[in-house]
Amino acid sequence: MGIDRRSIVKFLIGGAVGSMFTPTPWILTDDISIWTQNWPWVPKNIKGVDAYVPTVSKLCPSATAMLVRTVSGRPVRTMGNPEHPLSGGKISPLAATEVQLLYSPSRIKRPLRKASDGGWKEISWTDALALLDEKLGFVKGSATRLAVISGDQTGTVNEVLSGFVASMGSKQFFLMPSEAQTLARAWELMGGAGMPGFETAGSDYVLALGADILESWGASTRTRRAYCEARPHGEVPAATYAYVGPSCTNTAVGADIWVAAKPGSQAAVALGLANLLIKAGATSSAPDFAAFKALAARFEPATVAQLAGVSEANLAMLAEGLQKAKAPVVIPGSEFGQGGSVAAAAAGMALNLLLGAYNQKVGLRAVPEFAPVVEKAMARKDVMANDLAAYMQGLAEDNKARPEILITYEANPVYALPGDVAGTVAKIPFKVAIAQFMDETATMADLVLPSPLGIERYDDVATPAGCGVAIYCLNTPVIDAVNPAANIHGGDVILGLAAKQNANLGFNSFKDVLAAKAKAVGANVADLTAGKAFVSEAVTGAQPSLAAEAIAKSLEAKAPEGAYALAAVNKLGFGTATTAVPPQNLKLVREFELAGTLMYVHLNKATAAKAGVAQGQKVTLKAGDGKAIPALVNISEMVMDGVVMAPCNLGHTAFDEFAKGKGANVARLFTAQVEPGTGLSFWTQTGVAIEKA
């Protein structure tokens, strides 16, 4: 039988029909699909037993309480802790990535010594501590030759650090600038006792004067729970939220009312509101009420409109809202969580006093401080009075004696302080960075000591800035340190050095310090260890003043130079100065926030027209003294007229491929000045010029 055309066609058709009925091609296709996805470099799932271990974030300024999910001891992710007042089951965008940051490419894994060629040499802990001990021996007894900067805003480690500094004969212990410092200084000027806190839960009118309360201000996860509970889904909100600030921050988006006001104009707005409230009958038993009334009277609505850009109608609307509210609260703060005016903080707190919202369930509350346990530790008020920005300025201008040794503890002043302090820091002969990540300050250090992350160590969190109740929490290690040579807490490092310097602080280990603290707080250690928080709703203190004299003097501060006002915005999702943008969080950056290595700055159409710039145009923002950053223009109506908005925490020159070189550091442009009357530096009023690149 020959092969003819018909038989070929029959064979092909028969084959095609047959293949429809045999599973072979489908199984082959399935197999091909499966096996072409089964590559050795694609990780496989590792099964195990689940556990959820409670702790509190030491990386996120919100101090969010978390549960770390572990799978057979392997940490997988963090979630909110439903049983904890600093979470309520919710989590911040920074705390949500804390487990992944264990393996950040920027983690410091072992002690490093700067080599003569500028590179890094790994050294042992023994050698590192011996070197540091030797250097410290030369500065002991000097008031100026040792300086220590801490980036921890809530931990008892600050008692160890300041106690060590004091034992060495110095008082140069500084905290990185934050809302805590601004509020503490203002509260001291007002003669308040304890720490000022703001309770929003149960309020029917919350006025955020600059403070980005639903994003980066204070214990924001806790504040956001109160916001959530006041606004049931699909129902009319039980509380009105109003935000006053130059740009539509995340708080402004969540608020019912956004009233635009020039950057750093919180004091003028607060005094304008005080004037209207006093005219409407508000009063206070504060000893300086008469002086405050006279001061506020200078801030008629027309004056406020001129100084702050707030229309008379809007000012009246806010005053009426506060006046009619049953449980109002006013929360003052910097728009970006640092560098705020002390006078503005005092004026904002004074509003609460005028409204009778003082030491009630809602409003301003004098929250008791926990007793210190390190005997030689500096008093909190003394620490808060130490002005780091002014100190650095003094060093830069040779007005202050340069220290021989600078120790930074989980702080990144080189990146975060206003202006450019790198040159000043570089001149310090011996710099030690106790750090978790290779940030800008660690990069400049002569000796780098690795610090474990919060979930790898014992630590604590005591009442975050502005929190309306006193809270104390203990961190216990969720896991062993993933880098075995990075398992010594900075507190233990300092205690060891203190002992060697015969500056005994009374404790052998940092764990002992924490045990003593828990006892001093009056908390049950077993409960703390199990992840529960100690909470005290008690308030303390008598009638504070309204700080009228200090606020009046603060008005003598220099007005900002530059055609446009700079409004910085701080988003927790973009990380902090010490974490930079965590790798996962880079996806949060929106289309018109970053393009490759250039970040966008935002100005509205009217401002852009005035500046003669267009969407996507490359520009240079310039502040005084030749400070400049490059950027692209984004036209956005989320910014008020005459203002340029720029994000914080971009533009790192250190860290890793996820953060380095992305955008520009807006802190370079900040112009700090010491505030008359209050004595603390502030940099919420920075003027800039926009130049086409």
Partner 1 sequence: MSGAQQSFKILWGMAIDLDKCTGCGACMVACQAENNLAPEKDASKKQRVMNWLKVFELSNGKPFPDHDTAYLPRPCQQCGNPACVPVCPATVTKKDEEGGIISQVYPRCFGCRYCMAACPYKARYFNWYDPEWPQGWDKTLSPDVSVRPRGVVEKCTFCHHRWMKAKDKARVAGNDPYDLPEGAYVTSCTEACPNGAIVFGDLNNPKHLVHKLAHSEYAFRLLERLGMDPQVYYLSRREWVRRLGNHHLENEKTGEFTPLGGGHHG
Least distance (Å) from partner 1 to the CB of residue 225? Answer: 7
Taking the complex as a whole, the smallest distance from the CB of residue 328 to partner 1 amounts, in Å, to 21
632 sits in the region (left: phi over 0; alpha: psi -120 to 50; else beta) called: beta
**What are residue 54's DSSP bridge partners?**
67
Beta strands in 390-443 (DSSP E): 405-409, 430-435
Least Cα distance to 153 among 420, 435, 402, 383 occurs for 383
Nearer to partner 1, 89 or 679 (CB): 89
Residue 609, phi then psi, degrees to nearest 5: -65, -40
CB of 241: closest distance to partner 1 in angstroms? 10
Please identify, using beta-carbon distances, which residue of 40 and 612 lies nearer to partner 1.
Answer: 40
102/667 with CB nearer partner 1:
102
- In whole angstroms, the minimum distance from the beta carbon of 144 to partner 1 comes to 42
User: What are the Cα distances from residue 608, in Å, to 193, 259, 269, 648?
Assistant: 47, 21, 26, 21
Q: How far is the CB of 214 from partner 1 (least distance, A)?
A: 5
Between the two ends of the chain, the Cα-to-Cα distance in Å is 84
Place of tokens 């790198």: 422
Cβ closest to partner 1, residue 101 vs residue 389 = 101
Taking the complex as a whole, how short is the minimal distance between the CB of residue 242 and partner 1, in angstroms? 14
Nearer to partner 1, 549 or 641 (CB): 641
In angstroms, what is the minimal distance from the CB of 267 to partner 1?
Answer: 22
In the complex, the smallest distance separating the C-beta of residue 649 from partner 1, rounded to whole angstroms, is 13
For partner 1, give the closer residue by CB, 19 or 283: 19
What is the Cα–Cα distance from 558 to 683, expressed in whole angstroms? 11
Q: What are the backbone angles phi and psi of residue 619, rounded to the nearest 5°?
A: -135, 170
Q: What is the DSSP string of 130-153?
A: HHHHHHHHHHTT-SSSEEEEE--S
Nearer to partner 1, 93 or 531 (CB): 93
Question: CB–CB of 188/384 below 8 Å?
Answer: yes
**Dist CA 95 CA 463 (whole Å):** 17
Choose between 43 and 119: whose C-beta lies nearer to partner 1: 43
Tokens of 24: 């072979």
Shortest spacing between CB 280 and partner 1, in angstroms: 26
Which residue, 5 or 587, has its beta carbon nearer to partner 1?
587
User: Given the complex with partner 1, which of 24 and 33 has the nearer CB atom?
Assistant: 33
CA distance 466 to 196: 6
Closest approach, Cβ 215 to partner 1, in A, equals: 6
Helices 125-139 and 490-500, interaxial angle, to 10°? 50
Tell me the two tokens of residue 519: 């006892």
- Give the sign of the dihedral formed by CA 17, CA 21, CA 24, CA 25: positive
Q: In angstroms, rounded to a whole number, what is the distance separating the alpha carbons of residues 184 and 381? A: 7
Do 405 and 135 touch, CB atoms closer than 8 A?
yes
Strands 120-122 vs 112-114: parallel, antiparallel or unpaired: antiparallel
